[in-house]
Chain A
């Protein structure tokens, strides 16, 4: 029984690992035209909340990226809670990243969905993951 189960469990393990990363259509407007490209987007689960990260940031492949390994410490952000500009973008830039808004869909979904990510070189994490992880460390500075 054990011998029979092992390859089945091994297959399950493979399937689970592959389910964490998927090929996504990514759409960004450039020169008034939609530029669509394919990218590998991986899931990062925090409880039941799903966030997207780049393959290089995906845990199971031991590819954790710098921003996710970076030790948390207080970070001062000017006018973070002012309604001039979205807070997530301010956090992304304060951490040294490049924010980008984009549309995505998986597997021939009929509807494009939008989100935003923060690039650190070629690594990216969804901005909502950054705010979730860093919210306790944000110190606000005002003009």
Chain B
């Protein structure tokens, strides 16, 4: 073979081989975090807490309560009454909780979803109605609210709430109820120092390289991104930062480029986000397919929108 041919092979074929290896198909999942159980943050703006809970749940193979990791820097009452929220940080949500509690709270002890509400209500509306009732002192007259209370805070009957509010009013009521339900303290003494890597200290290229390295180590990675850039929506208003979790990658069957499997916390709905470089993940059995609530997102969109990553070392 001529030297020129050998050189051409070296210049083009060898890097292509490496590229194929760099985007080998990976999907990291286990009994606690998997394709079938994308979370739903319901009506609250605590995406960072849901993503942080996924990171812990995957590591510990046990579902950690998402709402227990609330860490928005203001009271829950302020957060949900403003309906805009201040957001939070995945890494700090974990660090702050472990520093305060030296343990974790399981989803089975403090549920973050699946509530059997007796009337139309999402989670934030329920919390608002609870505060309103406490402030107006009529919990015992509202059977629906009582039933909703049992669904979300089974340890908190009227007497418990009355006992608290007689001393403190509504101040930090939900935080108190969270603490009450997390008294069981699972994973006592658990220690982990989440790693946050954000722009501008880390370049986009470095972040992407780290994402790939972590996926190859069978880890999942928290992703902070500018959501309107990731979804490329034409809505002029900024939606702000959003936290999700990268759980896999593959070569796109359409373009051959590398794309990442992003686990969202908005339940199964997805197709309205689809476009060039973003497709909904489907779980197919025979010819029937269902949305999983995960998105296949191109490298381009990830690079355009990435703010940082969080992972557990």
Contacts of A99 in B (CB 8 A): 42, 122
Check A29 for interface membership: any CB of B closer than 8 A: yes
Residues 3-43 of B, flagged 1 when their CB comes within 8 A of A and 0 if not, give 00000000000000000000000000000000011101111
Count of A interface residues, CB-CB < 8 Å: 49
Check B120 for interface membership: any CB of A closer than 8 A: yes
Contacts of A98 in B (CB 8 A): 117, 119-121
Contacts of A97 in B (CB 8 A): 120
Complex Cα–Cα for A57 and B150 (A)? 31
Q: Which of A53-90 contact B (CB under 8 A)?
A: 79, 81-89
Listed stretches A1-9, A10-18, A123-131; interface member = A123-131
Check B288 for interface membership: any CB of A closer than 8 A: yes
Among A81, A100, A111, contact of B233 (Cβ-Cβ < 8 Å): A81
Is the Cβ of B120 less than 8 Å from the Cβ of A50? no
Residues 28-42 of A, flagged 1 when their CB comes within 8 A of B and 0 if not, give 111111010000000
Check B192 for interface membership: any CB of A closer than 8 A: no
Given contacts A83-B227, A85-B124, A131-B269, contact A31 B288 (CB under 8 A): no
Q: Which of A125-143 contact B (CB under 8 A)?
A: 126-128, 130-132, 135, 138, 140, 142-143
Contacts of B201 in A (CB 8 A): none
Complex Cα–Cα for A42 and B146 (A)? 33
Nearest Cβ on chain A to B261's Cβ, whole angstroms? 17
Among A32, A87, A113, A130, contact of B266 (Cβ-Cβ < 8 Å): A87
Is the Cβ of A50 less than 8 Å from the Cβ of B288? yes
The 6 A-B pairs at the shortest CB distance, nearest first, are namely A84-B45, A86-B266, A31-B154, A135-B272, A88-B269, A85-B43
- By a beta-carbon cutoff of 8 Å, the part of chain B in contact with chain A is 36-38, 40-45, 47, 83-85, 108-109, 111, 113-117, 119-122, 124, 150-151, 154-155, 181, 227-228, 231, 233, 235, 237, 239-242, 265-272, 282, 284, 287-291
- By a beta-carbon cutoff of 8 Å, the part of chain A in contact with chain B is 27-33, 35, 43, 45, 48-51, 79, 81-89, 93, 97-103, 111-116, 126-128, 130-132, 135, 138, 140, 142-143
